[in-house]
Chains A and B, each alone.
Chain A
Amino acid sequence: MYVYLPIAEMAVSVLSLIALGCGVGILSGMLGISGGFLLTPILILMGIPSSIAVASQSAGVIATSTTGVMGHWRGGFVDFKMVVYIVIGGVMGSSFGVWLFSYLDKAGNLESTIKISYVVLLGIIGTFMFLELGRTKFKRRNATKIQKFHHHNIFHHLPFRTKFKKSRLYISVIPPIFIGFFIGVLSAVMGIGGGFMMVPAMIYLLGMHTSVVIGTSLFQTLFVSINTTFWQASVNNTVDFLLSLVLLTGGVVGALIGVRLSKYLKVEQLRFILALIVMAVAIKLFVDLLSIPLDIFSVVSGEASK
């Protein structure tokens, strides 16, 4: 059974799309990640044009982050003052990212840029995940040592400092804006929510209290993905909502299964599986970039490539 994607102008097996959405949804449900960093490269490997995969994924991120935001908002785990600064940076970054996306597309370098970015990003994430797993094991073996809540770094000495009560911080507004901008660019160019980068940045760079990190990060993801989707759809015409809908259908079912499954599996085992998948996708993309392509020449109708 195939579904014709009107913007991508191609037919794709609806079952494989639902299975993909479901698979990533299961991981999301078990580990609390949006899974965009995994879904987009797999869509590209399935033959969906990079530009469509990236832009359509951003619409899916809106739905997943809304679900997360609602839960954290109800619990009061959001630092709204921090949200404002990060979102300012995020909106600027994602707007710049959409322009960059359009520029790379016109220059014909979009596909290669996205693939290279994913190889680097997934490689870093996979390596860090393995390191983190090793460190957790090491920590567990050794006696618990009292650690400082956070270390003061260069970010804490910059101008325009303000108090973030909920995060228990007194820092400059420049770092949150800068981090938001950086994640915003990545979100637009790579179709990711950015939570997996935002959360460690908030904890280790800003020194935010962990209780408000996920809720605040999800709010930023929501606003950035809304901004990205708006510009990708209205300027680049690359959002295939049918693709987003099919993936979301699988994703919702998968997330519900994932939540139930998480009760029977250890978190460390799950993280290990995810790290393996992340590394496998990174290696596959890397091999694709290095090996001689089957089709050296390709042709697209129209002015710009999809």
Chain B
Amino acid sequence: MKNWFLKLFLTSAVSIFIFMSFSARADIIEFKIKKLFIPITTSFNGNSVNINGATDIEGNIVFIVSSKKEVHTLTQKVKTDGIWVTKKIAKVDNIPDFYAILTTAPINIDAYKDFRYTVGAFNAKYNIVYNKTSNSDEYVWRKLVKAKIDNGKYIYNPNAVKRRGRYLFDVSLDLPSNIENGYYDFRAFVETENGLVGFYNELVLIERDGFTKFVYASAINYSVLYAIIVIFISLLIGYGVSFVGKRR
């Protein structure tokens, strides 16, 4: 009960603060994310990011969430001698691992070729490093985006943003458990008859924390030491079990 009241109070306070801060201005959109750091601990199984915001602009609120851009490898299962084997067919650079579009109403993604906002993964400035297929780069790119959508890494939810009254809105984003570490850029603007208006962004850090961070950092940065520790602990467990077995 107390916790519920506290949440309501904080949400209201944040909303009022946002509203007060831009009430004197025009064409403004602002939002607050409760947690700017999402730890990936041993019990992490995806996470919900709750956002509260306000705008004085009439129109379709558009949220774009994007992770850092990096190289991706596209593989294809090919039937060889009756067996399906995996082959690397293309490498594409400069694309985010995670990408989400959340709006109050459906938008025509293909209409946005304006790269200022990179609305829609299909409009991104991708860079094909190699394409081993006989198909066009566009074909490879579309297959990659489709694979990302199937993985839950590229999301388009046209009714995720809910307006609460004339100014306030809120949105919730469910991040998958197979998400990558790093900064995630949360951007918001409004789609109006005059195009895209207003712009606001926040960065959220999603990173391994605690034991998972320790294990990962050790495995990557001190791999030899990590190997020795893994071997030592395994030997210890094996010896411990044999010792218990002997006593029994």
Q: Which residues of A contact B (CB under 8 A)?
A: 1-4, 6-7, 9-11, 59-60, 62-71, 74, 107-109, 111-112, 116, 226, 229-235, 237, 239-242, 244, 248, 252, 255, 289-293, 295-305
Contacts and interface: CB of A to CB of B under 8 A. Distances in A.
Contact of B219 (A7, A116, A290, A299): A7
Contacts of A237: 219-220, 223
A4 B44 contact: yes
Nearest to A286: B83
A111 B83 CA distance: 12
A25 to B, nearest CB: 10
A299 B74 contact: yes
A134 B45 CA distance: 48
Contacts of B42: 3-4, 242
A70 B240 CA distance: 10
A6 B219 contact: yes
The secondary structure that dominates the A interface is helix
B227 to A, nearest CB: 4
Given A297-B74, A298-B147, A305-B75, A67 B86 contact: no
A293 B84 CA distance: 8
B9 to A, nearest CB: 32
A108 B234 contact: no
Contacts of A255: 241
A248 B238 CA distance: 10
Nearest to A7: B219
B16 interface: no
A13 to B, nearest CB: 9
B85 A112 contact: yes
B223 A233 contact: yes
A7 B226 CA distance: 12
Contacts, number: 188
Contact of A239 (B70, B211, B227): B227
Contacts of B226: 233-234, 239, 241
B56 interface: no
B106 interface: no
A63 B97 CA distance: 37
Contacts of B86: 108-109, 111-112, 298, 305
A69 B242 CA distance: 9
Given A63-B238, A66-B235, A303-B73, A241 B215 contact: yes
A258 B82 CA distance: 40
A302 B235 contact: no
Contacts of A232: 227
A108 B75 contact: yes
Given A4-B42, A237-B223, A292-B84, A301 B72 contact: yes
A15 to B, nearest CB: 13
A241 B236 CA distance: 14
Contacts of B216: 6-7
A299 B230 CA distance: 30
B35 interface: no
13 contacts: A1-B43, A7-B219, A9-B178, A62-B234, A67-B241, A69-B238, A226-B231, A234-B227, A297-B76, A299-B148, A301-B70, A302-B70, A303-B71
Interface in B50-97: 70-77, 82-88, 91, 97
A265 to B, nearest CB: 20
B8 interface: no
Q: How large is the interface on B (under 10, 10 to 19, 20 to 34, 35 or more residues)?
A: 35 or more
B237 interface: yes
B95 to A, nearest CB: 9
A4 B234 contact: no
A231 B223 CA distance: 9
Contact of B151 (A63, A299, A304): A299
A289 B84 contact: yes
Contacts of A2: 43-45, 177
Contacts of B150: 295
A299 B73 contact: yes
Nearest to B40: A4
Contacts of A235: 223
A180 to B, nearest CB: 19
Contacts of B178: 9-11
A132 B79 CA distance: 35
B113 interface: no
Interface string B162-180: 0000000000000001101
B233 interface: yes
Nearest to B234: A62
Nearest to B144: A299
Contacts of B23: none
A105 B92 CA distance: 18
Contact of B71 (A4, A290, A301, A305): A301
Contacts of B146: 297
A244 B234 contact: yes
Nearest to B67: A301
Contacts of A304: 73
Nearest to B179: A9
A187 to B, nearest CB: 14
Contact of A229 (B45, B77, B234, B243): B234
